[in-house]
Structure 1
Amino acid sequence: MKFTKAEKSWVMYDWANSAYGIVIVTAILPIYFKSVAQASGLAATTATAYWGYANSVGTLIISLLAPLLGAIADYQGYKKKLFNFFNLVAITATFMLTFVPASAWQWLLIIFVISTVGYAGANIFYDGFLTDVATPERLDRVSAQGYSMGYLGGVIPFVIIMLLQLTKGFGVLSATGIVKFGFIMTTLWWIIFSIPLMKNVTQQHFLPPVTQPISAAWHRVVATFKTVWRDKNIVWFLAAYFFYIDGVDTIFKMATAVGSDFGLSMTHLMLILLLVQAIAVPFSILFGRLAQRIGTKYAIGIALGIYVVICIWGYFMQRELDFWILAFLVGTAQGGIQALSRSHYAKIIPSEKANEYFGIYNIFGKFSAIIGPAMFGIFTQLTGQTRIGILSLVLLFVVGSLLFIKVPRIEKS
């Protein structure tokens, strides 16, 4: 299937912000933060727990804002402006990380939280643009292509960072210098590849403008929440999504911190993350095609089963090979479950209120993400064992799967 100019431009934003997800959130910042925090006297498990708490704070902020922001964006002329604002906040905060002193681990967490709010906020409107660029029968494939390009786009800056790590900065950059170079490279990558969306994607579905958009949006949010609870298609999906996407996000955010606790070197962690990215590219596309063959519900169900295996496998990990196997499994399911969740939701909501409904989608997805990292941190701190923190996440996938059984099946597109 050939993609339109608008679809390609929309997909490219996944390519643009992917460097933040893989280089900053997963690769260099958690490891850099832990090294700085431990040098300041924090225990390794305490530093890991603080990283989890910082992720929870960032998601709490955007979760509270998401429904209102989404409702405002549905009015004509607001979606692109709000997208540009939050995108700029995220990019600026990422660049500011470059100037944080090596000993100021508290400031690393604060600026990271700001960048997370900007990143997640921009994604509310990015997700909402999906219904503007794709017709209902193309949603699964376009959404999956976005995640696939995101993983592929993340590989390039990630490989550059990995080469710098392996060569010790080619004798020019120190370990800290490599980290700061990563912050700058991510900033530039994000700016450049955001341009296609800003130029070629426009809001096709919208509500007429009003004189007081914030007040009107708030009243719409209250009314929409009441409407949502009467729609079983949306209620059961969001209830299931609330739990299982929390587990997905927590595994993604805590991966390198967990690997570090298991004694893996920076080099090995970088190679393992590269494997996840490489595996996720074809499997994201594969899940999009699978959804067209067997239906989105069954394809998501397969991904949920893989994640249950991941949590159990994580508890029994003993060797480095076990971590490689875990990474492979994450790569097979991560992009697919995210892409198909987004496209499934886009199919069951009214297009003219896509941003408002995606605001609700984000409050379930992002607000739930407070639970996972916090639960992981608490179990890890109480037991002193990272593997217990990993195993605790299986509860999120089991509950999510049980609720997902109630989700009505949508006919294959």
Structure 2
Amino acid sequence: MGISLQHNRAAWAWALYDWANSTFATTVLAGFFPVLFKQYWAGDMTATQSTFWLGLFSSAASLLVMLISPWLGAIADRRGAKKRFLLLFTLIGVLPTLGLFWAGEGQWLLAALLFAAASVGFFGGLTFYDALLVDVAGPEDSDRVSAWGYALGYLGGGLLFALNVVMATQPEWFGLASAAQAVKLSFVMVAIWWTVFALPLFIRVRERPANMDTDTSFAGLFAILRQAVTRPGILTFLLAYWLYIDAVHTTIRMAVDFGMALGFDSNSLIAALLMVQFIAFPAAVGFGYLGERIGTRKAIYLGLLVYVGVTAWGYYLQTEGQFFIMAAAIGLVQGGVQALSRSFYSRLIPAGQAGAYFGLFNMIGKFAAVLGPLLVGLVALISGSNRVSILSLLVLFVLGAGLLTRVREPQPGKAVR
């Protein structure tokens, strides 16, 4: 029997880790690093050269995480070491982020290496963080606890990013010499924030005993993959998740590019992204309770339906005001779809193998936003229209939702095997 979130310090400590590490996703990953890389560290390069190197190091980090996640997850199951691996990857993320402060102008290779290492720490740690969900919440609480994690992540990431944006645009208010100095200082703030707010998880959360039956050899890893394939509910869910989360991630990544293609002001687009962070905080919490009331799968469907509506509306988008409304609608469902997908999956997987199976889950997550941007780009190239290209995401949303109908939803206290 799970314990209510209101009375479970371990669950709050677990959720607070999302508050801690989401600042890397907002301030570093999506916000300032790409800009500072082009203008400060790689300022002597052409725009295409800097884009190439940034993309190369980002892809290398993602590929490494994708390859090692299932294997390290299996090792964590066998040794009861999910917290230890999470601590390791937290340090791998925090220290290079801190190191960016000392990367001087023109030192693009050092900056790219530090960024890639920090990205490995951030994304690699998610496998063990997600896997710990089953240790802090029972099946009847998993929707709510998972949703609180995403909610706190949006709020924490949004608050620090908002402060960092003010620092970068008004450095003199903070006694700083330039915007570049403000941005580099913001990386230090991310490292400190990530470290401090990660501590409660390592103090409060107790993971379940080790599963000594887990085979951590490569043969054992392939056995887990075969096991996942033979469990129709898990395989079908992962395929469905890959399709619709790919579309979700593409919407997030392509929103600013789409707005700029329509001639919208870049400052307005950043303001819209910040707005999404703060709307997503209460909305994600609400989706956690909604999943308990109407069922997790129905709540995911509701979120996907909103995405379908927003995607279709994108074809007719004309003004910045409409873009803000569209961003607000996305903020209402973005965290909910992600959180409930995680909790739904946590009730499908075999007991004692959360590390390995969440390794697969996050491997699928790293594949996400691969098919979507390619599809959008090809349709734009063929049709010559950004508006038509955004409609192509409807295919991924509809196919993903259709496959999800074939997965039997596990009931509270039970699991689909």
Which TM-score band applies after superposition, normalised by the shorter structure?
0.7 to 0.9
Alignment of structure 1 residues 84-163 onto 2, 5 Å:
84-103=87-106, 108-163=111-166
Partner residue in 1 for 2:226: 226
Partner residue in 2 for 1:206: 210
Relative to structure 1, the CA distance from residue 333 to residue 56 in structure 2 (aligned partners, 3 Å threshold; closer, same or farther) is farther
Q: Aligned partner of 1:317: which letter?
A: L
Deviations 1:84-103 (A, max 9, x none): 11111111222233334444
Alignment of structure 1 residues 3-402 onto 2, 5 Å:
3-33=7-37, 35=39, 40-42=45-47, 55-103=58-106, 108-170=111-173, 172-208=176-212, 214-215=216-217, 218-260=218-260, 262-265=262-265, 267-373=267-373, 375=375, 390-402=390-402
8 Å contact kept, 2:18–2:152:
yes
Q: Distance in 1 between matches of 2:211 and 2:288?
A: 30
Deviation at 1:241, TM superposition (A): 0.5
> Pairwise CA RMSD of aligned residues?
3.0
Q: Aligned partner of 1:119: which letter?
A: F
Relative to structure 1, the CA distance from residue 3 to residue 116 in structure 2 (aligned partners, 3 Å threshold; closer, same or farther) is farther
Q: Distance in 1 between matches of 2:44 and 2:384?
A: 19
8 Å contact kept, 2:80–2:208:
no
8 Å contact kept, 2:80–2:211:
no
8 Å contact kept, 1:308–1:397:
yes
8 Å contact kept, 1:311–1:391:
yes
Q: Distance in 2 between matches of 1:209 and 1:296?
A: 31
Q: Distance in 1 between matches of 2:227 and 2:329?
A: 38
Deviation at 1:378, TM superposition (A): 6.2
After the TM superposition, which of the residue ranges 362-371 and 383-392 deviates more from structure 2? Answer: 383-392
Which ranges of structure 2 fall in alignment gaps of 5 or more residues? none
Q: Distance in 2 between matches of 1:82 and 1:12?
A: 18
Q: Aligned partner of 1:26: which letter?
A: A
After the TM superposition, which of the residue ranges 112-121 and 200-209 deviates more from structure 2? Answer: 200-209
8 Å contact kept, 1:132–1:205:
no
Which ranges of structure 1 fall in alignment gaps of 5 or more residues? none
Deviations 1:102-144 (A, max 9, x none): 4455655544333222111101000011101111111111111
Q: Aligned partner of 1:75: which letter?
A: R
SS in 1 for 2:247: helix
Q: Aligned partner of 1:231: which letter?
A: R
8 Å contact kept, 1:236–1:407:
yes
Relative to structure 1, the CA distance from residue 383 to residue 3 in structure 2 (aligned partners, 3 Å threshold; closer, same or farther) is farther
The TM-score normalised by the length of structure 1 is 0.88
Q: Distance in 2 between matches of 1:242 and 1:6?
A: 30
After the TM superposition, which of the residue ranges 246-255 and 294-303 deviates more from structure 2? Answer: 246-255
Identity, in percent, stands at 37
Deviations 1:42-89 (A, max 9, x none): 26xx97787666654433221111111111110234222211111111
Q: Distance in 1 between matches of 2:407 and 2:15?
A: 28
Deviation at 1:169, TM superposition (A): 4.1
Q: Aligned partner of 2:223: which letter?
A: A
Deviation at 1:345, TM superposition (A): 0.5
Q: Distance in 2 between matches of 1:383 and 1:51?
A: 28
Relative to structure 1, the CA distance from residue 258 to residue 205 in structure 2 (aligned partners, 3 Å threshold; closer, same or farther) is farther
Deviation at 1:405, TM superposition (A): 2.3
In the alignment of these two chains, the number of paired residues is 407
Greater relative contact order, per chain length (Cα 8 Å cut-off, separation 6+): 1
8 Å contact kept, 1:148–1:281:
yes
